[in-house]
Every structure is written in C-alpha cells, then in structure tokens.
Amino acid sequence: MFLKHIMGLYRGDIPEEGRVTPGNLGMKADILSRLGQAMPFILSGEALDLVADLSPDTYEEEVVLDRLRDFRLPAPMTWFEFEMGAQDDRERIGVLMRGGSGEPLSIIPFMERGGVFFESFCMLEMDHKTNRVRLASNPEIQNRYVAQMLDAGRTQSFAMEKVEEGKHIFSEVAAMGAVYACEAVRLMSAKNAPIDGRAEPLMSRQERRALARKGVDMPDTPPVVTRIVLNAEGRAHVNAMRDTEDGRPRRAHWVRGHLMRSPTKGPVWRSAHVRGFGDPVMTPRLVTALPEARDDELPSP
C-alpha cells in the first residue's frame, strides 16, 4: 500500500537511498501527522477503470472547478491512492485532501514512478467562492531539487525549466487524484451504486507491534482502509462499455419509455431514462423520406 510505504519513508523505517528524490525528506513531523489523521481509501482494479472512464480527458482549471464543486470529503482529512501503468513502469499516486463542501479544498499530491518517490513541493488549493485555483510551492524542497540537478552538472536554466515542468506534473496529479476521489465517492453514494467500499485492516498485528516497540503512538482501535471495488451492477456496466463486434465502443445511452411487468403491480410504465453511467452520447441520425410513389400511367386506348 502506497500510504504505508510513504509513512515508512518519512518515519525512517525504509531507507531513502535509491528510493527518494531529491533525498533528505523534509517536513517529516507535519506530513506524518496529517497522514496519520487521514481516512484512507484505495481505488484499484476494475473500479479504477470505471472511475477513469467517467473522468474528464483534461484537467484544465474550469473543468476541475466544475467537477469538484460541492464535493464533500468523507472525512476532514482524506487520503486516496491508486496505481497506473504496467508493472515494469508502474506509477503509484496518492492525494491528501482537506476542506471541501464550500470551504477551500487543499490537495497535496504524492507520486512514485519506477520505484522512486518524488517528494512533492506543491499543493493545489481550490476556492469555489472566488472560483480560483492556486498552486502553492515549498521553496525549501524546490531548492533541493535545483541543487540536485546542479550537482549533476546541469545548468541553472535547465534546473529551473525542470522545476516548472515538475509543478505542472504535480498540479495535474493533484487535480486527477481529487477528481477520481470525487467520482468514486459520488458513485458509492448513488442509487444502484456500481462500486462498494470494503473495510480492511490498515496494518497487520505484527506491524502494529513493531511500530509500538519503536515508540510510535498507536490508536486503541486498529486503523482501517476502505478498498473500493466493482460490484455486480458496476461489472454489468463495464461489460456494456466494451467494444461491440464492429469495434465501436458502447456508451451510456437513452432508452425509450416502455412497459415493464412487476410481480406485485402488474404492467408498469418505465419512463425514458439513461442506461449506464456517465453522460449519454447523443448520436444524430439523418432520417429521410422515401421518394413518393408515382402511379403508373394507364396505356392510352
């Protein structure tokens, strides 16, 4: 689990060498305190595929503000994580979120790529009252990235260019993680929800005992993590979204009103509705009338 890995790095249980860039992790006490307070969620497997399918293709400011409007976090401090990519080029992404529901939403992104943890020096802040998105950066961590590149023989201009590129990557990771979290929470609370949350122990008994021996304060109640999984309703939707025989993907679509037979009420009219999840794709169809039939002329006498 990515959350446990990060906490191990910040506690010093896992050596940084070869696993962290730029190294010498900062703000350890603050990050550990926030992560320890957060309610954790894992989005994985087909549930991740479904949420990704319903999420936007781009994460421009207007799109993200609209998607996260009125988003209520499951807890004042919430953690969401998921994995992307192939096993040999895997990316682990996590977002630590606070606020929402009318209050400014702050999002700290965490990212590991190819087994290397990239220390975040950015935090995305969204304020729907002012309709603005702001990217705050930590100059101390940013300067360590610059120093690392200078030590490797890079120029100052190259290092600053990479820092700006890093800001863009971290801001997009934060926006994507928050949107995925928002879509997952909304889907879990929907009628006939396609995904469910299953509580699992965050740590084994052995892990808790090992941390207690190191002097780490452990809560009386063992912490749990909620794993978000696809259920039967969601699997039916995923199957319906798969490509048809002619290669065209099936999408959410309108179904015309029709009669249904209820075991208790008999025939029941079902109004027109959208089948599937997400926005229906409106496919225009050109309907033309057949040429008007012309009566054959009678032969002249």
The whole-number pLDDT of residue 295 equals 52
The whole-number pLDDT of residue 269 equals 53
User: pLDDT for 110-169, tens place per residue?
Assistant: 999 989 999 999 999 998 888 888 999 999 999 999 999 999 999 999 999 999 999 999
- Average pLDDT value for residue range 176-203: 88
The whole-number pLDDT of residue 264 equals 65
- Average pLDDT value for residue range 62-73: 87
Q: Are 123 and 167 in contact (CB under 8 A)?
A: no
50 vs 106, more confident: 106
203: confidence class by pLDDT, cuts 50, 70, 90: confident
Residues 6+ apart with CB under 8 A from 69: 128
5: confidence class by pLDDT, cuts 50, 70, 90: very high
Please give the mean pLDDT across all residues of the chain. 82
Hey, is 265 helix, strand or coil? coil
- Average pLDDT value for residue range 286-293: 58
The whole-number pLDDT of residue 80 equals 97
Residues 6+ apart with CB under 8 A from 19: 9, 115, 116, 117
CA atoms of 105 and 127, how far apart (whole Å):
7
The answer on pLDDT for 248 being more than 80 is no
CA 249 to chain centre: 22
User: pLDDT for 77-112, tens place per residue?
Assistant: 999 999 988 777 789 999 999 986 667 899 999 999
Q: Could you tell me the CA-to-CA distances from 117 to 15, 22, 46, 93, 106 in Å, in that order?
A: 12, 9, 25, 10, 21
Domain ranges of the chain: 2-235
The whole-number pLDDT of residue 209 equals 74
